[in-house]
Structure 1
Amino acid sequence: MLKAVKFLFVGIVILFILVTAALFAITSLLDPNDYKPEIENAIQESTGFHININGAIDWSIYPWLGLELSEIQVNTTEGAPFTTLDNMQFRVALMSLVKMSPRADKLVIDGLQLNLEKDSKGVGNWEKLSDREALSANDEQDTEKTATETAKPNQEQDFDFTVSEIVLANINVNYTDKPAGRTIVLSPLNVTATDISTDSPIPVKIDFTLSDSQSGISTDGKLKTTVTLSKDLKRTELSPFSAKFALSGKPFGSETVNTAINTAITLDTAGQTLSVANMSLTLENLAAIIDLQISEIDKTPKINGSAKIVDFSLQKLLTNLGQKPIPTTDDKVLKKIAFSTSLKSPGNQISLPDIQLTLDDTVFKGNASIDQKTSRILARLDGNAIDIDRYSPPEQKEGTQEQARTTPSPDTTPGGTAPDDSLPIEMLKGLNFDLSANLQQLVAQNMTIQDIAIQTTAKNGIIKLNKAAGKLYKGDFLATADINVKAKKPTWKLHSEINRVELLPMLKDFRELTLLAGNLNFKADIASTGKNLTQLQNNADGTASFNIDKGALEGVNLQALACKGAAQLQGKKVDISQRPPLTSFNDMSGTVKINGRIISNPSLIASLAGIALGGHGQVNTADNTLEYGLDLKVVGELGDPNCEVNKYIKDIAIPVKCTGSIGGETSPDCGLDTTRMSDMVKQIARREATRKIDKAIDRKLGKWLNKKEKNQEGSTDSRADTEKQQEKEDKKEAVKGLIKGLFN
């Protein structure tokens, strides 16, 4: 038995030696270069690829099973070059294959030139490589099924292999998209990996240059990592992993932008986990740190981790990126921005439970979540204080302001649309959120607002501002809004209320105005339709009401104007230049009607010392002009001994007219309405004439009636004294009426 085994072993050795010798003889005696046409035809028949081998072919069998090819070209079916390869080498120890433990010396691919192109019809040249038709759907399914079934028995097997070195050198890829007018060039790409085996660290280095004609950006990249593969190839570690990129091109001006990534990555397909540990991302002076642990990656991934952006200056970052810093009123802002949060993903929801956002001196804290199925965002933020005026553009110089005032407006004709006033309707339709925010203090337009609370929602094209409330100059405000962008004509509705707001300090802070003082109460309901700002302004429709108590009009003394008007009506002159430009009142109220760009005030009522004030007028927001009329009815003393008001002037409304532009450097001009004053003079003259006629008639009629009574004293018809007197008065009035009719 032992002898038989011995002879069998010797026979196998002899057979192996003979086969090896035969292969050695073939490789030694036969030159594959003599069979290039046959090799090219065989490849084309089996794959459909058009291949030309222009260089030498070299092969070996023992001790290394190797193949070396040079100057290979693959063409499309139309004969256009698709790819060329300068040199390819591969060698594996023959005996390692026998032992089922492959040991390769090296794999080298050098000088690969790959040309990818989409023609004017959008067809890629890679679709024209083979004459053979693609596998049918059934064939593909059968192939996949067979591959799956074949792979099953090997899923638990370990892999034992060694490759001394893999080198990809001078790889060049050109991609041209003619319809898009875009070219992407990867040139060169170099990859090296050494000492490749399982359960051992594998050093890998990659460097490349990538340019994109569309973005105008060129990127030089360098990647370095150590890869560790488990024997069953189910666990892969890249630790450490580092990458550096240098970006240049038109978007960055003359600057070169540096960015880097440093991390450790572990992928475990058996445990279905992915770990990204302590990832550091840097972009010039911007640095972010991310840590992620992801499980159940083959299902709905569950995420736990954190993200942090370290304090950085946005202005410096923009400068480093070749951009201009953002112009701000305060040059100390946008220099401290930071962000941090933890990350959790239970099921389909990604949550950020502890957000902290820092913007200079302002800190927001809160939480947010995103539903991956519906894309709905929920967020709650609370902040301390922010002065947004610090972030506004600086004031223009006088010359620039004058140029801006004289530059024609881009607005089109009434009802038209300005070039840039369209509203983002489609974007609004896609919004899906529930947001709320609280802010302790906000400074905007130099006005201070406190205890701000905002709550808003959006879904299916319906956007609601459920609440915007806060405290404003010892008063408070509340606003709600509804926007519906689902319809062909989007609708916009606004309701606002202001209660007990002190006007004078607010207006002083807002525009250094001292026009009006008092406690304001205001309520408005406004609606509009449209897809751009011009339509919203033209279609605006609404009403408002207001009242101001314990107030004053600054810059005008209505009592003085009434005094001057009364004097003129009596043919007198009064100097009111020394009267203070102030009108105090106990209460002022009115209503407002909004119709397109016209805001009208049909009724204004105010109670002033000695005067009952009424008014009406309008503001045209298209050209920011005011036309307003006031009626000053003297009902009492005007507080000046020179303002004597006789009984004929009393209760007559003295007209005042205010006209001019608003919102500019000049204020509206207010003064006596001379046209209406002329009518008033005529009215008073008519009243005085009527008074004199009445007096004369009374005197004449009295004498005539008295004389008639004396002539009738002897009459037998006796009446009571009271009846006689009444009859006398009735006759007098009847006669007066007839006489007055002659003058009308």
Structure 2
Amino acid sequence: MKAFGKILGIVLLALLLLIVAGGFILTHFFDPNDYKDEIRQLARDKANLELDLRGDIGWSLFPWLGLQLHETGVASAQTPDKPFADVQMLGLSVRVLPLLRKEVQMSDIRVDGLTLTLRRDKNGTGNWENIGKPAQPAAAGTAAPATQPAPSGQPTPPTSEPRDPLKLDIDSLTMRNSRIDYSDEQSGKQYTVEGIDLSTGKIREGSSIPLKLSAYLGTNQPVTRARTELTGNLRFDRALKRYQLEDAKLSGEASGDQLHGKTATFSAQGQLLLDQAAQIAEWDGLKVSVNQLRALGELKARELDKQPKFEGGLSVAQFNLREFLEGIGQTLPAMADGSTLGKVELSTRLSGTANSIQLGDLKLKLDDSSFTGSLGLADIAKQAIRVQLNGDRLNLDRYLPARTAKAQEAASATRKAEVDATITSATQGNTPLPPSPTQQAWSDAPLLPMARLRALDLDVALKLGQLTLNKLPIENANLKLRGQNGVIDLQDMRGELYDGRFNAKANLDVRQDVPLLSAQKHVANVPAERIVEAWGEKPPLTGLLDMDSNITTQGNSQRAWIDNLNGTASFVVNRGVLLNANLEQQLCQGIATLNRKALTAPHGGKDTPFRELKGNLTFRNGVASNPDLKVAIPGLTVNADGDLDLRVLGMDYRVGVVIEGDKSDMPDPACQVNERYVGIAWPLLCRGPLELGAKACRLDQEGLGKIAAQLAGQRLNKKIEEKLGDKVSPELKDALKGLFKKQ
């Protein structure tokens, strides 16, 4: 037995020496460069490839099966003059004996100067799609026979059992100075990955494989450039279809059209997992930074083979959103306060699909405001915004465009000069009645971003403990807003204001060139002067306002909205004051005129208090008709009929004042009210800029003359009664009195 074993060992050694000798002879006396034409033809027949073997082919056989290619191009046999791959040098070697055990043991794989040029033509066909398909010989006039089904009754050949995957054992993979170009003629888009440098450690299945990859990325639509570097440890198990990238870190810089000359520095790190068997992907220990933005979280995706869904958590540390956006070339719309968006912080739970994202359990801090709730995009492609938020407070004035009075002043400069001149000349007393204003008070500047509003898909529900809007502090504010297909519907807006309350509904239709607006509003117990001041105007009165209105208008500017204003409104102002209006002085002056006496001192203060002011308005193209204005003033009752021209902020009223007389402790003799004056509607005319309020009112001299004639007739009738007594018949006395009645 020992001799047999010795003989067998000698035989095996002789065979091994024979194989080594054969390998030596093949590699030293057989030059593959002499068979380039045969190699090219074999590539055409078996793989539908056109090889351009410009450089030398180097090879070894045993114990390493090695191959080196230099300056080699690869193209499809259909387009041999358009190579899709070109390599300066490709070197690899495999141990021969382990291949017999289905093990791949390789030394370093080296790739230098690889260029892949991938293209899709106008028909969507890629220049790589026919690669690897053996060429089919075409017989003239005949079609390739279809696959014949197995005859009935014959057993179907057994399918081959799945093979065990080859076991990989590679010392390293190195790629240098490589490039990938992809272009699509249908879309015109181009993508480039250049300067590719890849290096790995020992590649073994189930083991941690360190890798480092760096490259420059570029696109043309939009033009974007990015430098990237990826490091980590790769681990894979092909049997379980499980792939992990541990301690992954991606970093780099990006620039391009969308950044408008700015540069974004970014990084992302964490633990990545792809489990194809379970169709899930995970990213744990997520850390992301873009310039000064810092975020932590985790993400998990599932149903990767269907419609992928993802969920996870995200926390963003406090940062300056304004500086961040400016740093990536994004321009914010003009805001009244340039310090807004300086403090932003959030934490949330993420969920969504490839075309939607939802931020639930949201906790958001925005400057001095805090919010909870949810927000998201129900359809990213359509920018369908969904918001449900509860907040403590929000000063919206800070985020809205500043009221740069340039446009307004340009539109009303002439009017302001006109009003200023009128105010200067309008003093209490017998000055002439101010003229009606004629200059437009509103701007023609466009207010609505029509294109953006038409594309808006919005559903918002917002609750705030305090909302500041137009300097009005609204408590317990609630807002529900929907916008879709060019129609924005304010379903409800309500709140409390200065111990009063209000609610409103509105609808804006921007589907056509001229937008249409309708609104309904209810106001109860709200200071009227505060509302007027919110519009930047000087209030003519104070008091608690109750109002109901239903209006419509159209256009896209202040002037258009006022010029096309139509609808109705009813109002009551309680416990108010007519500012800068001494009606008592005006009336005393009139009574003194009738008494033919001079006032000894001014009467009343600079303002006139009232118990109630009420009326109804009918709007027609910017002019409000007010036929039933009533004001209840201590000692007076005022009835008025007139118009408010909102286009020029002017008024024109005929006023009747019914007086009870001077009831002060020390009545002025000139202003003493004869019982004949009580119950008479004393006439006033009010005309001029709305800013003047009651200062624009003057005694109606013509009407006052008629009253004087009426009073004179009453005096004569009394004397007739006293003189004639019972001396004449009643019929004659009535006839004589009738001669002095007001005609």
TM-score, normalised via structure 2 length: 0.76
How many Å apart are 1:72 and its aligned residue? 3.0
Q: Return the offset for 1:470.
A: 1.6
Superposed displacement of residue 286, structure 1: 0.9
Instruction: Return 282-291 or 43-52, whichever deviates more.
Output: 43-52
Quote the residue 1:729 is aligned against: 730
The aligned counterpart of 2:450 is 422
Distance in 1, Cα, partners of 2:295 & 2:357: 19
Which residue of structure 2 aligns with residue 363 of structure 1?
370
- Range with greater deviation from structure 2 (605-614 or 483-492): 483-492
Give deviations 1:409-459, integer Å, cap 9, x for gaps.
xxxxx999959652645434x44x4x4332212233332221223344567
CA contact (8 A) 2:377 2:384 kept: yes
Deviation at 1:197, TM superposition (A): 1.4
1:683 paired to 2:683 = no
Q: Does 1:500 align with 2:528?
A: no
1:334-379 superposed Cα distances (whole Å, 9 cap, x missing partner): 3321111234689x99875522111133211234688789998775
Read off the aligned partner of 2:107 and give its amino acid letter: D
TM-superposed deviation, 1:552: 0.9
Match of 1:612, SS state, is strand
Kept in 2: contact 1:481–1:492 (CA 8 A):
yes
| Partner Cα separation in structure 1 for residue 91 and residue 600 of structure 2 | 110
Tell me which of 330, 341, 351 is aligned to 1:334: 341
2:568 maps to 1:543: yes
Map 1:12-411 → 2, pairs under 5 A = 25-44=25-44, 51-74=51-74, 77=79, 79=81, 82-115=84-117, 126-127=126-127, 153-154=161-162, 157=164, 159-174=166-181, 184-230=191-237, 232-248=239-255, 256-298=263-305, 305-318=312-325, 320-321=327-328, 333-343=340-350, 353-367=360-374, 380-391=388-399
CA positional deviation for 1:107: 3.0
1:161 is paired with a residue whose SS is strand
Distance 1:13 1:133, change over 3 A: closer
Shift of 1:82: 4.9
Indicate which of 660, 675, 687 corresponds to 1:636. 660
Contact kept in structure 1, 2:47 and 2:135, CA below 8 Å: no
Alignment check: 8 A CA contact 1:160 1:231 kept: no
Distance 1:610 1:578 in 2: 13
- What is the CA–CA distance in structure 1 between the aligned matches of 2:483 and 2:538, rounded to whole Å? 38
Superposed displacement of residue 686, structure 1: 5.3
- In the aligned structure 2, how far is the partner of 1:152 from the partner of 1:536? 80
Aligned to 1:472: 497
292-301 or 581-590, which deviates more: 292-301
CA distance in 1 between counterparts of 2:107 and 2:158 reads: 29
Partners of 1:107 and 1:455 in 2: how far apart?
63
Q: Which residue of 2 aligns with 1:720?
A: none
Q: Which amino acid aligns with 1:306?
A: G
Relative to structure 1, is the Cα distance of residues 271 and 423 closer, same or farther in structure 2, using a 3 angstrom cutoff? closer
Contact 1:605 1:614 in 2 (8 A): yes
Spell out, residue by residue over 1:642-690, the C-alpha distance to the aligned partner (whole angstroms, 9 max, x if none). Answer: 435564696244223242376xxxx67843458xx35325534654676
Is the alpha carbon distance of 1:177 and 1:294 closer, same or farther for their aligned partners in structure 2, counting shifts above 3 Å?
A: closer
Q: Deviations over 1:33-70 (max 9, x none)?
A: 34444544554455555553322233333332233222
Residues 188-240 of structure 1: per-residue CA shift (max 9 Å, x gap): 22222221111101111111122445545432111111111125151111111
Q: 1:52–1:575: structure 2 CA closer, same or farther, 3 Å change rule? A: farther
1:440 alignment partner in structure 2: 465
Secondary structure in 1 matching 2:450: coil
AA in 1 matched with 2:173: I
The separation in 1 between residues aligned to 2:38 and 2:75, in whole angstroms, is: 17
Instruction: Tell me, yes or no, if the aligned pair for 2:200 and 2:212 is still in contact at 8 Å.
Output: yes
Identify the residue that residue 654 of structure 1 maps to in structure 2: 683
The one-letter amino acid paired with 1:384 is: D
Distance change >3 Å, CA 606–CA 363, structure 1 → 2 = same
* Contact 1:562/1:632 (<8 A) preserved: no
Query: What is the CA deviation profile of residues 388-424 of structure 1, one whole-angstrom value per residue up to 9, with x for unaligned ones?
Result: 344456786x9999789779xxxxxx99995965264
Q: What does residue 712 of structure 1 align with?
A: none
Q: Structure 2: how far apart are the matches of 1:477 and 1:309? A: 37
Asked if the contact 2:516–2:555 (Cα under 8 Å) also holds between the matched residues in 1, the reply is yes
Instruction: Flag the 1:151–1:556 CA change in 2: closer, same or farther, 3 A.
Output: farther
User: Can you list the C-alpha shifts for 1:687-733, whole angstroms capped at 9, x where unaligned?
Assistant: 46766887899899x69x96xxxxxxxxxxxxxxxxxx7xx333554
1:583 and 2:608 correspond = yes
How far did 1:261 drift?
Answer: 0.3
For 2:618, the equivalent position in structure 1 comes to: 593
Once residues 489 and 5 of structure 1 are traced to their aligned partners in structure 2, the CA distance between those partners, rounded to angstroms, is: 104
1:343–1:353 CA contact under 8 A, matched in 2: yes
SS of the equivalent of 1:562 reads: helix
Partner amino acid, structure 2, of 1:266: L
Q: Quote how far apart the aligned CAs of 1:556 are.
A: 1.9
Cα distance in 1 for partners of 2:80, 2:695 equals: 86
Q: Is the 8 A contact 1:562 1:634 kept in 2?
A: no
Structure 2 partner of 1:605: 630
CA positional deviation for 1:273: 3.4
Is residue 198–residue 228 contact of structure 1 (8 Å, CA) maintained in 2?
yes
TM-score, normalised to structure 1, is: 0.75
**1:547, CA displacement in angstroms?**
0.4
Paired letter, 1:342? R
In the TM superposition, residue 275 of structure 1 has moved relative to its aligned partner by: 2.3
Give the Cα–Cα distance (whole angstroms) in 2 for the partners of residues 82 and 342 of structure 1: 45
Q: Which runs of 5+ in 1 are unaligned?
A: 143-148, 408-413, 707-724
Do the aligned partners of 1:655 and 1:673 also contact (CA within 8 Å) in 2? Answer: yes
| CA pair 735-632 structure 1, distance change in 2 beyond 3 A | closer
Instruction: Tell me by how many angstroms 1:521 deviates.
Output: 0.9
The question of whether the paired residues in 1 share the 8 Å contact of 2:54 and 2:70 is answered with yes
Within 2, Cα distance between the matches of 1:447 and 1:417? 24
CA gap 1:592/1:42 in 2 versus in 1, 3 angstroms: farther
Q: Which amino acid aligns with 2:101?
A: K
Asked whether the equivalents of residues 211 and 218 of structure 1 are also in contact (C-alpha less than 8 Å), the reply is: yes
Distance 2:654 2:345 in 1: 56
Q: Secondary structure at the match of 1:546?
A: strand
Do the aligned partners of 1:315 and 1:326 also contact (CA within 8 Å) in 2?
no
Corresponding residue number in structure 2 for 1:721: none
The question of whether the paired residues in 2 share the 8 Å contact of 1:78 and 1:128 is answered with no
CA distance in 2, matches of 1:152, 1:464: 66
CA gap of 1:364–1:267, structure 2 versus 1, over 3 A, is same
Aligned counterparts of 2:549 and 2:621: Cα–Cα separation in 1? 15
**C-alpha displacement of 1:597:** 3.8
Question: 1:453 maps to which residue?
Answer: 478
CA gap 1:102/1:278 in 2 versus in 1, 3 angstroms: same
Q: Against the structure 1 CA distance between its residues 96 and 595, is the aligned structure 2 distance closer, same or farther, given a 3 Å change threshold?
A: farther
Kindly report the root-mean-square deviation, in angstroms, between the aligned alpha carbons of the 2 structures: 5.2
Q: Structure 1 residue 527: deviation in Å?
A: 4.0
Change (3 A) 1:681 1:630: closer
Query: In structure 2, how many angstroms separate the alpha carbons of the residues matched to 1:151 and 1:571?
Result: 127
Question: Helix, strand or coil: the match of 2:113?
Answer: strand
- Quote the sequence identity (%): 25
| Residue 462 to residue 524, structure 1, CA distance change in 2 (3 Å) | same
Instruction: Measure the CA separation in 1 of the matches of 2:595 and 2:84.
Output: 105
**Does the 8 A contact of 2:111 with 2:175 survive in 1?**
yes
